[in-house]
Amino acid sequence: MTSAASSVTDWLDHSKIAVLNTKGGVGKTTTAMMLCTAAAKDSRSVELWDADPQGSASEWFYMAEEAGTPFPFQVATVNKITIKRRMSADLAIIDGPPGESSTIQAAVDAADLVLIPTTTSPLDVMRTWKTLETTGDKPTMVVLTSVKLGTKLLDQARAAFEDEGVYVAKSVIPHRESLKQSIGQLPLSMYGYDDLYHEIMTLMTDDYTAHTQAS
Ligand SMILES: Nc1ncnc2c1ncn2[C@@H]1O[C@H](COP(=O)(O)OP(=O)(O)OP(=O)(O)O)[C@@H](O)[C@H]1O
Ligand SMILES: [Mg+2]
């Protein structure tokens, strides 16, 4: 029998996190790239799986490499079939495409955890529900991105989800022009994504422990 500690490690070491929202421009690619960076900094073997036919994550990755500041992980292109495969890295973070497509459902099905980034704009919050409807029983977490700290919109967006029982990450990602300007380069700062990464890892470990204790 495996010990609880090594079972937790084993579970965490074969996980897929899908970053999804049918709404475009809400920070999916930025979130996937930054969470992979945070995982690599935490010495985890991690791959970014680019499931967006536009290839924004791959493009950003190769631009940074050409600029001589490579990201500390590898990128692979996946589609709705290959997204099911077992990864060679311990952790795969999937960057989903915008718009409605069968790839989104395939990513939900393949994922251990679905992360749904949205800005706090009421329109983006409203359009995020469509994606939340696709996740079913999968562990799901909304991440508030491009947040103007200290504004009513932040509290309103959080309440809109939490009032309906949707889990919202405690870590929020602030709006930063310098992050916007980091497209094509390795960002110089983590912009709150290291806190989000640790929050996710703690949650996944706690869920696993709760599950094993119940069974
Ligand atoms: N925290 C932030 N602060 C400022 N700008 C941000 C932040 N996060 C993302 N952006 C910017 O918002 C835009 C959209 O981000 P991103 O490409 O990550 O979204 P997306 O959901 O992947 O978009 P798409 O649906 O087109 O794939 C980009 O210009 C990006 O640089
Ligand atoms: Mg994108």
pLDDT above 80 for 105: yes
- pLDDT (average), residues 5-10: 46
Left (φ > 0), alpha (ψ -120 to 50) or beta: where does 74 sit? beta
Ligand 1 binding pocket includes 26 (Cβ within 6 Å): yes
| Pick from 74, 29, 23, 70: nearest CA to 51 | 29
Q: Is 124 in the pocket of ligand 1 (CB under 6 A)?
A: no
- Return the pLDDT at 34: 98
The torsion defined by the Cα of 131, 79, 11 and 195, in degrees rounded to 10, comes to -60
- Residue ranges of E strands in 5-161: 15-19, 46-50, 74-77, 91-95, 113-118, 140-144
The distance of Cα 108 from the centroid of its chain, to the nearest Å, equals 12
Q: Which domain holds residue 47?
A: 4-214
Least confident of 7-16, 56-65, 93-102, 109-118: 7-16
Residue 34 CA to ligand 2 center (angstroms) comes to 13
Q: What is the CATH number of the domain that holds 98?
A: 3.40.50.300
- pTM for this predicted structure: 0.93
111 lines ligand 1 (CB under 6 A): no
Q: Are 95 and 52 in contact (CB under 8 A)?
A: yes
Total domain count for the chain? 1
